[in-house]
């Protein structure tokens, strides 16, 4: 049998749910044998596409797709400067696609190839938001009635619902919120939901790094009586040392990591047990290969996984999350945003949600495909991202 080689590496850009997605397709010398991977950086899709097609395609042409570790190292080091989100997502797309090919060659779903299942299905959490407390409560109740046991609650989105802000006469354009108002409202929200729903369901919350570090410490302390499953992203990567103060002052479980790109952003948090859940965006750190290593590293220190799973992860990326979740003994929970009908049509083989658990199919590799003809009907839109232009009442730009 002739040596199997990589013949083409290309990016497929599509937005069936209105969010820019980037899927990498690695084609081989065996007709019909290819792999898919997620490289979604929704707000810099053209930059990622360029890395994939202008640099990785010629770099990888003719190489053996079986050499996943070696190819990952070559891609990571080829530009000399590394650990940035654009390059990492491009690396991830190829890496996932190579694992997909490996599973197809073996005739095994990826979770079997990585050692077999540690559980039968993957518990997920859903997002309940609303403009009023009652609306949030109604959405929580609907999820709970559908069998979801873990629910993230927000009142008015990230940073809360901006009320009557006290502002100067001239402020820059942006998306405004009041951090102190947000803190007060979050405590009201948890008080209302616990009073309405009791303590039989698991509640989560995402601060999305919207607070000053000392305020984040205070919020974690104030939320302790409500027994959260976890409090998410209370600090930015640049302020990680503050986790030591959080840990010293309260027992609220902490999840962090969706902005992480570089291992130095998380290694000390894990070694010092300053967080309880690692929730990286696996394409942001370079794909399945580094995510599997990170999960094993976390296992040694009692840290659980909670991979990032929002709408700006492609269904291919969600499938990769689920395969890792099935394998890792230190799995904690999986964020799940769900799929719209158009996404299900473009990506046949999506994992399925049933009563709070997601199930992978048993097809070889990642078990998911892409209909490129349908994908082309949903082109990406390149425009200035608005929601990240966040500001506090005096007009100062703040972390989104």
158 belongs to the catalytic site: yes
What is the rounded CA–CA span in Å between residue 212 and residue 234? 9
Among 294, 293, 236, which residue's Cα sits nearest to residue 270? 294
What is the rounded CA–CA span in Å between residue 42 and residue 311? 10
**Catalytic pick among 34, 111, 158, 260:** 158
Helix (H) or strand (E) holding 213: helix 213-222
Q: Which residues contact 183 (CB under 8 A, 6 or more apart)?
A: 211, 215, 218, 219, 222
**Catalytic pick among 205, 208, 281, 323:** 208
Rg (CA), the chain: 21
Query: Is 352 in a helix, a strand, or coil?
Result: strand
318 belongs to the catalytic site: no
Cα distance between the two ends of the chain: 53
Q: Which residues contact 260 (CB under 8 A, 6 or more apart)?
A: 237, 266, 280, 284, 285
CB 165 within 8 A of CB 393: yes
> Which residues carry out catalysis?
158, 208
């Amino acid at each position: 049998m002739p040596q199997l080689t990589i013949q083409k590496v290309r990016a497929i850009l599509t937005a069936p749910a209105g969010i820019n997605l980037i899927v990498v397709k690695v084609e081989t010398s065996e007709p019909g044998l290819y792999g898919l991977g997620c490289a979604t950086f929704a707000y810099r899709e053209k930059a990622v596409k360029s890395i994939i097609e202008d640099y990785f395609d010629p770099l990888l042409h003719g190489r053996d797709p079986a050499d996943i570790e070696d190819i990952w190292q070559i891609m990571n080091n080829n530009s000399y400067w590394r650990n940035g989100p654009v390059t990492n997502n491009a690396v991830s797309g190829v890496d996932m696609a190579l694992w997909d090919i490996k599973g197809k060659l073996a005739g095994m779903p990826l979770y079997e190839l990585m050692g077999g299942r540690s559980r039968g299905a993957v518990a997920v959490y859903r997002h309940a938001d609303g403009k009023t407390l009652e609306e949030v409560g109604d959405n929580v109740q609907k999820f709970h009635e559908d069998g979801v046991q873990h629910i993230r609650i927000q009142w008015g989105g990230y940073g809360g619902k901006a009320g009557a802000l006290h502002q100067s006469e001239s402020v820059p354009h942006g998306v405004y919120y009041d951090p102190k108002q947000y803190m007060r409202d979050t405590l009201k929200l948890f008080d209302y939901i616990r009073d309405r729903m009791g303590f039989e369901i698991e509640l989560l919350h995402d601060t999305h790094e919207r607070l000053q570090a000392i305020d984040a410490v205070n919020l974690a302390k104030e939320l302790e009586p409500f027994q959260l499953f976890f409090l998410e992203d209370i600090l930015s990567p640049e302020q990680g040392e503050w986790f030591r103060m959080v840990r010293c002052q309260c027992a609220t479980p902490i999840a962090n990591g969706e902005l992480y790109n570089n291992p130095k952003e998380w290694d000390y948090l894990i070694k010092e047990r300053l967080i309880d859940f690692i929730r990286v965006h696996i394409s942001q750190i370079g794909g399945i290969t580094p995510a599997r290593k990170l999960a094993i590293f976390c296992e040694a220190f009692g840290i659980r996984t909670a991979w990032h799973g929002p709408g700006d992860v492609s269904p291919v990326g969600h499938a990769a999350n689920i395969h890792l979740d099935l394998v890792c003994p230190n799995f904690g929970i999986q964020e799940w945003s769900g799929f719209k009908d158009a996404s299900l049509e473009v990506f046949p083989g999506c994992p399925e949600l049933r009563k709070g658990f997601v199930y992978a199919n048993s097809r070889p590799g990642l078990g998911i495909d892409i209909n490129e003809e349908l994908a082309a009907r949903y082109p990406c839109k390149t425009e200035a991202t608005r929601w990240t232009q966040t500001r506090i009442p005096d007009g100062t730009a703040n972390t989104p």
